[in-house]
Amino acid sequence: MNVHVPKKQLADSLGHVERIIPSKSSNPGLSLLRVGLTESALILSGSNMEIDIEARVLADVTGEGNFALPAHMFSQIVRSLPGETVSLAFGGSEVDISSDSYDTRLRLEDVASVPAVTFPDSYHGEIEAEKLVRGLSSVRYAAAVAEYQAIFRGVKLELNDSRIRAVSTDGFRLAYYHLDESSGLDGEVVAPAKSVDELVRLLVEDPVRLELVEGQLSLQSGPYRTNVRLMEGTFPDYERVIPGTFPLSVTVNAGVLSEAVSRVALVSDKAANNRVDLFIKGGLLQITAEGGYGRSQEALEVSQEGTDPEIALAYNAKYLVDALAPVAGNLRISFSGATTPSVMADLGDPSYFAMVVPLRTG
């Protein structure tokens, strides 16, 4: 069983699969890569039990079979090969990997010890890769990090006949990305944010095909297939807490505001939630912070609207900066009050929506 394959393609695909494969595990089979030989392709797959990934690499293949290799060692070797083409010769207990003057023989592992990874036979949903990547990437920051926060550590996908929406919240901030279109699927599921981080790297080609089966979201894009194990639990009814009236709003460039907030917040104490204070009046947005080292301030001219002449409130600077990051140009921040959530709209992309709860002060 012989394979000839371009080094670059093999290394790139391996890189995507290898990323999720644990280098150490109490189950040694989890650190293995499964290599399948089929007519004209190598099928590489691996899993960390949370996410399965399969990559198909076009290759010149003689013979068929399934093999198991130590994922990270194989990947390191392939990346370092001297030539542009790799030859693999699978024997009984070894695979011979050669390229130019270099040659290595790696011991094959028991393919039965690699977790079985199966993908759907068909996919009933479809979405543009760029939209899905932007949606998931734009909201992922708002997911919680701490283990005890359970379902808040996921990204919710709402799919129905008129909606594709990705949502994250950790209780202090919320972000969603909303498309008025249908993927062809119907369901509400929550995927672990960490799996979403891997997933977006694999959405390289249109269309992305989707399938929802018991406890699992499956996607296929070009040469990559992936299964994401879904989270169990009830996602909060977040729409209920989004305010409806905003007595004051400002329009400002997101990058300019983000840099000013970051700069001013440098002196604020981490232990005091990185507090920055905002005071808006007469078209001027004043940002101030103070801490053990001293105090800082910066003023930005903004376009101000609304019935209230001024507002003073405080945020965790990191939450504000995170919410601004997905916005490339101007954004509108609408204030519902000093202690109630502020919401942000990307004026260049109406799909993005963010909400940040101000810090309780005084």
List of residues contacting a second copy (CB under 8 A): 70, 73, 76-77, 80-82, 94, 101-107, 259-260, 262-264, 266-267, 292-300
Q: Report, in Å, the least distance between residue 263 CB and a second copy.
A: 4
Q: Report, in Å, the least distance between residue 296 CB and a second copy.
A: 4
Q: Which residue has the tokens 């992305």?
A: 208
Residue 37 CB neighbour total at 10 angstroms: 21
Q: Report, in Å, the least distance between residue 105 CB and a second copy.
A: 5
Q: Which two tokens stand for residue 221?
A: 């894009």
Question: Which of 55, 61, 54, 57 has the alpha carbon at shortest distance from 87?
Answer: 61
Query: Pseudo-torsion of CA 210, 212, 215, 219, nearest 10°?
Result: -10
Q: Report, in Å, the least distance between residue 297 CB and a second copy.
A: 5
**Nearer Cβ to a second copy (73/204):** 73
Question: Which of 246, 302, 255, 262 has the alpha carbon at shortest distance from 279?
Answer: 302
Backbone angles phi, psi at 293, to 5 degrees: -85, -25
Q: Report, in Å, the least distance between residue 172 CB and a second copy.
A: 25
Q: Report, in Å, the least distance between residue 51 CB and a second copy.
A: 25
**Nearer Cβ to a second copy (200/300):** 300
**Nearer Cβ to a second copy (93/122):** 93
Question: Which of 145, 205, 229 has the alpha carbon at shortest distance from 16?
Answer: 205
**Nearer Cβ to a second copy (46/70):** 70
Q: Report, in Å, the least distance between residue 358 CB and a second copy.
A: 23
Give percent helix, percent strand, percent coil of the chain, each to the nearest 5.
25, 45, 30
**Nearer Cβ to a second copy (264/331):** 264
The letter for the amino acid at 283 is G
Largest separation between any pair of C-alpha atoms in the chain? 79
The answer to whether residues 309 and 128 touch, using CB atoms and an 8 Å cutoff, is: no
**Nearer Cβ to a second copy (70/135):** 70
Calpha distance 49→31 (Å, rounded) = 11
Rg (CA), the chain: 25
Backbone angles phi, psi at 53, to 5 degrees: -130, 140
**Nearer Cβ to a second copy (106/347):** 106
